[in-house]
Structure 1
Amino acid sequence: MHLHETVRTALRAPFTRRAWAEAAYCLAGFPLGVTGGVVLAVLLALGAGLTASLVLAVVGVLLLIVSLRLARGLGGVHRRLAAALLGERTPAPPPFRPGDGFVGRLDARLRDGTGWRAAAYVLTKLPVGVVGGYAVLWWVSGLVNLTAPPRWAVLGQQPAADDPEGMPIVTPVPFGGLHADTFAGTFLALALGVGTLLSAPWVTRIVVAGDRWLIRALLGPGRLADRVRDLEETRALAVDDSVALLRRVERDLHDGAQVRLVAVAMGLDMIRARLDDGHPPDVARVRQLVDGAHRNATEALTELRDLARGIHPPALDDGLPDALATLAARSTVPVDLSADVPVRPTPAIETIAYFCAAELLTNVIKHSGATRASIDVTRRDGLLRLQVTDDGRGGAVPGAGSGLTGLAQRVRTVDGRIDVRSPDGGPTKVTVELPLRA
Structure 2
Amino acid sequence: MTTTGWKHPPDAARGHGTGAERKAPGAGPALRNVLGAPLTVRAGAELAYCLAGFPLALAGFLPVAVFLALGAALTVSLLGAVLGLLLIVTAIGLARALSAVHRRLTAGLLGERVPAPARTRPAGGAVARLDARLRDAAGWRSVAYVLVKLPVATFGMYAAGWWLTGLIDLSAPLRWAVFGRRDMPTIAPLPVGGGAPYSTSFAGTFVAAGVGAVTLLTAPWVTRGVVAVDRWLVRALLGPGELAERVRDLEETRALAVDDSAALLRRVERDLHDGAQVRLVALALSLDMARERLGADGDPVADPGRVRQLVDLAHRNATEALTELRDLARGLHPPALDDGLPDALATLAARSALPVELAVDVPERPTPAIETIAYFCAAELLTNVIRHSGARRAALRVSTRHGTLRLTVGDDGRGGARAGDGSGLTGLAQRVRTVDGTLEISSPAGGPTTVTVVLPLRA
Identity %: 68
Structure 2 Cα separation of the partners of residues 302 and 139 of structure 1 = 73
Q: 1:19 to 1:261 in 2, by over 3 A?
A: same
Distance across 2 between alignment mates of 1:7 and 1:338? 39
Q: How far does residue 178 in structure 1 lie from its aligned partner after superposition?
A: 2.8
Give CA-to-partner distance per residue, 1:362-406, whole Å, 9 cap, x none: 223333344444433322101122233344444433238662211
Query: Which residue of structure 2 aligns with residue 258 of structure 1?
Result: 277
Give the corresponding residue for 1:9: 33
Residue 363 of structure 1 contacts residue 402 of structure 1 at CA under 8 Å; is this kept in 2?
no
Partner of 2:268: 249
Say whether the 8 Å CA contact 2:414–2:448 is kept in structure 1. Answer: yes
- Flag the 1:25–1:336 CA change in 2: closer, same or farther, 3 A: closer
Aligned residue number for residue 331 of structure 1: 352
Give the SS at the match of 2:360.
Answer: strand
The alpha carbon displacement at 1:304 in A equals 0.8
Give the letter aligned to residue 440 of structure 2.
D
Question: How far apart are 1:267 and its partner, in Å?
Answer: 1.0
Deviations 1:9-53 (A, max 9, x none): 333333332222222211111111123123222222222232233
* 1:65-120 CA-partner distances (Å, limit 9, x unpaired): 11111111111111111222222222222222324332322222112111111111
User: What is the deviation of 1:325?
Assistant: 3.0
1:133 & 1:52 partners in 2: Cα distance? Answer: 38
Please say if 1:316 is aligned against 2:325: no
1:34–1:130 Cα contact (<8 Å) kept: no
Q: Classify the secondary structure of the residue corresponding to 2:98.
A: helix
Q: Retained in 2: the 8 A contact 1:23–1:136?
A: yes
Which residue number corresponds to residue 9 of structure 2? Answer: none
Which of 142, 155, 163 aligns to 1:131? It is 155
1:295: how far off?
0.7
Q: Could you tell me which residue of structure 2 aligns to residue 268 of structure 1? A: 287
Further displaced range: 368-377 or 68-77: 368-377
Q: Is the 8 A contact 1:22 1:85 kept in 2?
A: yes
DSSP-derived class of the 1:221 partner: coil
Within the alignment, does 1:405 sit opposite 2:426 as a pair?
yes
**What are the superposed Cα offsets for residues 254-303 of structure 1, whole Å, 9 maximum, x if unpaired?**
11111111111111221222234777431111111111011111111110
Q: Deviation string for 1:410-430 (max 9, x for gaps)? A: 101000112223344544332
Question: What residue in structure 2 maps to residue 68 of structure 1?
Answer: 92
Between 1:259-268 and 1:336-345, the stretch displaced more is 336-345
Q: Distance in 1 between matches of 2:221 and 2:385?
A: 44
Who is 1:236 aligned against? Answer: 255
Q: For 1:145 and 1:385, how far apart are their aligned partners in 2?
A: 53
Q: Where does residue 378 of structure 1 map in the other structure?
A: 399
Give the 3-state SS of the residue equivalent to 2:182 in structure 1.
Answer: coil
Q: Find the aligned partners of 1:63 and 1:247 in 2 and give their Cα distance.
A: 57
Q: 1:35 aligns to what? A: 59
User: Which residue in the other structure is 2:319 paired with?
Assistant: 298
**What is the aligned length?**
432
Secondary structure (helix, strand or coil) at the match of 1:376 reads strand
> How far off its partner does 1:322 sit?
2.8
TM-score for both structures, normalised by structure 1: 0.89
1:191-230 matches, cutoff 5 A: 191-230=210-249
Q: Which residue identity is paired with 1:396?
A: A
Partner of 2:144: 120
Structure 2 counterpart of 1:352? 373
Q: Secondary structure at the match of 2:120?
A: coil
Supply the distance in 2 between the matched residues of 1:128 and 1:119 (Cα, whole angstroms): 15
C-alpha spacing 1:341/1:286, structure 2 compared with 1 (3 Å): same
Which one-letter code corresponds to 1:207 in the other structure?
V
Q: Which of 59, 68, 72 lines up with 1:44 in the alignment?
A: 68
Q: CA deviation at 1:149?
A: 5.0
Cα distance in 1 for partners of 2:125, 2:233 equals 34
**Which residue of 2 is the match for residue 163 of structure 1?**
none
Gap runs ≥5 in structure 2: 1-23
Aligned-pair CA distance for 1:148: 4.7
CA distance in 1, matches of 2:28, 2:391: 38
Which residue is 1:285 aligned to? 306
Q: Aligned to 1:170, which of 188, 196, 201?
A: 188
SS of the residue aligned with 2:399? strand
Match of 2:8 in 1: none
Q: What amino acid does structure 1 have at the position aligned with 2:79?
A: V
8 Å contact kept, 1:316–1:322: yes
Change (3 A) 1:3 1:273: closer
Q: Do 1:92 and 1:220's aligned partners in 2 also have CA atoms closer than 8 Å?
A: yes
Match of 2:106?
82
Q: Which residue matches 1:389?
A: 410
What's the CA shift for 1:187?
5.0
Query: Which residue of the partner structure matches residue 22 of structure 1?
Result: 46
Cα displacement string for residues 303-352 of structure 1 (whole angstroms, at most 9, x for unaligned residues): 01111111112222332223223323333334344433333322211211
In 2, the alpha carbon distance for the partners of 1:395 and 1:184 equals 53
Structure 1 gap ranges (5+): 160-165
Q: Larger deviation: 178-187 or 378-387?
A: 178-187
SS of the counterpart of 1:178? coil
1:125 deviates by 0.7
Q: Distance in 2 between matches of 1:331 and 1:422?
A: 21
Question: Equivalents in 2 of 1:152, 1:205: separation in Å?
Answer: 32
CA RMSD, aligned part only? 2.6
Equivalent position of 2:4 in the other structure: none
Does the aligned pair in 2 maintain the 1:99–1:107 contact within 8 Å?
A: no
Match of 1:55 in 2: 79
1:242 Cα shift? Answer: 1.0
Q: Distance in 1 between matches of 2:372 and 2:231?
A: 40
